Chains A and B, each alone.
Chain A
């Protein structure tokens, strides 16, 4: 959720005065104060947690599209590789698998820092934009009540950049950002 908030703040999707500062992972991060947005994010994050625990989620995508012409301008993609054997209780604890909390926080911090840094080379978002959160899951999953299926929201003429990845004891997260190539560079 902190990564999503950072993206919303950095890209100016919502006005900066609607964000407030909190301390997390050793960094000062900005989270929104808009109640409707917070409610939406909480709903999504709760569902994501449940699915992550069951290792059903494959990918989380933050899609930024222009309101006027529905054109997708940016796509922030987080691929999640889940170690399904971690669920097996009979598994023998292998030492290298365990990772300290601090190391995980350091990696998350570096990813959030990289999100902030990538803003420098992304093209400016001139028009009013809105964002959407897409979750790629297993095909046989039961779709919950408030959720629906959607398209993948590709960008037509895109430029992609791979960012850092970080691992916890169970998951590995690869992050990348795709943006629409400017017609006039």
Chain B
């Protein structure tokens, strides 16, 4: 409220200011004089400015106040709103609680309803199941009903059929009764007819008797007729026979003529056959001769070729005579020359063999002698070595003797000096010491001497060995040189032998290869022949059973062939006879029947 009061004061001040300003403006505008107006203007302007500033301040203050008022109002409204909100909240809370309670009640109700619903569903399900079961039972019942109905229908049908049958049967019975009655009536009629017939039969029998009598008479008559007919036929037959006989008799001469002709033809054909046979034999003989002549010709040709070859060879042999200039005119001379050459060859070979034997013996002797020479030389060398060793020993011994004599002399001199020294003075310890030293020196010298001698001896031995080896080598060298000389002489001789031997070896190898090839080819042939079934007749023989199937089959075949030939001949005769047109003889009839049986 204070603010409001402030505001009203502010407003009032504002109004007063505005009024003042407006007055001042009017006053200012009315006073538009130049001179003093300037200072008044300035003052007015300053006042205006101050007033404007105040106005502005007041405006701002008024604005502030307005704002504050608005703020107050806002706060009040805010509070009111808050209070209202609180109220509303309270009411809402209450409503909420109420509604919550309601909700809970509703929920409980819903649960109850859901439970009820579930129960209802269960009940529904049960009901449905019950329904289904009832339906099934209903269906089964209905099926049963249907079956029963079908059965009923079938039963009805059967009933109807049976009724139909019954009716038919009844109808049949009726018909049969009717038939029975009709048949009874017929029977009566037939009985009456029977009586009539009986009477007739009696009459007929009487008639039959009469007829039989007449028939016997008839039979007699017929017999007579047959006899007469037979006689007649016989007479006719006889007449025919007579006619045939006459005809045959008429034919007889013709037959005789034909017979003669056939016999002549037969004879002619036989002659022809014999001629044919003879001609065939001649032909075969001629063919064989031809073949022989052809063979002979071929042989002639080959013989002529051989002849020419031989003539050529002869000419070449004769030419040989001119070419070799060995006085050869006939092959005998050639053969003699060859024999002579061979004999010379044999003689030369024998000489060769003797010479080679002697050469071998001489070589062996030479080798033995060389071995002896070697042995003797080695012995010589050994003895030389021994001699040298002995000489060296002798020298050493002499040197030793000299040394010993010198030592002895020295020792004697020393002893004499010692003796001479001993008698004047008795420097025995020094002398003894000196003596001992001297003796030691002597012993050392002895030892040294012996060592040197031993070394000398060793060296001399080695030298001797080396010399011996050298001499042995020299000897061997001499031997080898001598052997070389001899070998050079012998190689000249043996080169020829080697060449000949090589040639022989080559020839032998060529022969060997040829023989191997021949061997292989022969083995192949042998293999082929063994596969084909060849055998060595000298070592094996072939046996088979006498009663073997091949022979049996051949026998059967022969028998069949014979049978067939016989049949053939018989058939030919039949044909001839049939062509002739005569009566068929008995034996051929059998063949014909046999043939007909075979065809059947």
Contacts and interface: CB of A to CB of B under 8 A. Distances in A.
Interface in B538-561: 538-554, 557
B535 A132 contact: no
Given A67-B553, A77-B533, A160-B528, A139 B543 contact: no
A173 to B, nearest CB: 14
B598 interface: no
Interface string A130-172: 1111111111010100111111111100101010000000000
A178 B542 contact: no
A63 B549 CA distance: 11
Contacts of B533: 61, 75, 77, 152-155, 178
B561 to A, nearest CB: 10
Interface stretch (A19-27, A37-45, A96-104, A113-121): A37-45
Contacts of A61: 533
Nearest to B541: A139
Interface in A80-107: none
Given A138-B540, A150-B542, A133 B531 contact: no
A17 interface: no
A122 interface: no
Contacts of B593: none
A68 interface: yes
A110 interface: no
A149 B532 contact: no
B541 A149 contact: yes
A160 B531 contact: yes
Contact of A162 (B531, B542, B545, B546): B531
Contacts of B534: 152, 154
B542 A152 contact: yes
Q: Max chain A CB contacts within 10 Å: which of B533, B547, B551?
A: B533
A178 B528 CA distance: 11
A136 B547 CA distance: 18
Contacts of A44: 545
B530 interface: yes
How many chain B residues sit at the interface, stated as a range, is 20 to 34
Given A61-B533, A154-B532, A160-B531, A133 B544 contact: yes
Contacts of B538: 139
A70 interface: yes
A147 B545 CA distance: 5
Contact of A141 (B528, B531, B541): B541
B535 A40 contact: no
A160 B532 contact: yes
A109 interface: no
Nearest to A61: B533
A119 B515 CA distance: 40
A6 interface: no
Contacts of B548: 40, 132-133
A69 to B, nearest CB: 11
Given A67-B557, A130-B553, A152-B534, A58 B543 contact: no
B557 A135 contact: no
Given A44-B545, A155-B532, A136 B540 contact: yes
B543 A178 contact: no
A118 to B, nearest CB: 14
How many chain A residues sit at the interface, stated as a range, is 35 or more
Contacts of B535: 58-59, 136, 152
B542 A134 contact: yes
A176 B527 CA distance: 12
Given A37-B549, A67-B557, A77-B533, A150 B540 contact: no
Given A152-B533, A154-B532, A146 B557 contact: no
Contacts of A70: 554
Contact of A178 (B531, B537, B539, B546): B531
Given A139-B538, A139-B539, A146 B545 contact: yes
Contacts of A178: 531-533
B542 A147 contact: no
Nearest to A8: B549
A158 B529 CA distance: 11
Interface in B27-76: none
Contacts of A75: 532-533
A67 B550 CA distance: 7
Q: Max chain A CB contacts within 10 Å: which of B539, B544, B551?
A: B544
Contacts of A43: 545
Given A61-B533, A68-B557, A178-B532, A147 B546 contact: yes
Given A65-B550, A130-B550, A135 B532 contact: no
B555 to A, nearest CB: 10
A33 B230 CA distance: 66
B531 A135 contact: no
Contacts of A162: 531
Contacts of B530: 79
A136 B533 CA distance: 10
Contact of B543 (A37, A128, A147, A153): A147
B545 to A, nearest CB: 6
Contacts of B553: 67, 128, 130
Contact of A133 (B540, B545, B552): B545
Contact of A147 (B539, B544, B549): B544
Given A147-B544, A151-B542, A132 B532 contact: no
Closest 3 interchain pairs by CB? A130-B553, A160-B531, A132-B550
Interface of A: 37, 40, 43-44, 58-59, 61, 63, 65, 67-68, 70, 75, 77, 79, 128, 130-139, 141, 143, 146-155, 158, 160, 162, 176, 178
25 contacts: A59-B540, A67-B557, A68-B557, A75-B533, A77-B531, A77-B533, A128-B553, A136-B541, A136-B542, A137-B540, A138-B540, A139-B537, A143-B543, A146-B545, A146-B547, A147-B543, A148-B543, A148-B544, A150-B542, A151-B542, A152-B535, A154-B533, A154-B534, A160-B532, A162-B531
Given A75-B532, A130-B553, 9 more contacts: A77-B533, A79-B530, A130-B550, A130-B552, A132-B549, A149-B542, A152-B535, A153-B533, A155-B532
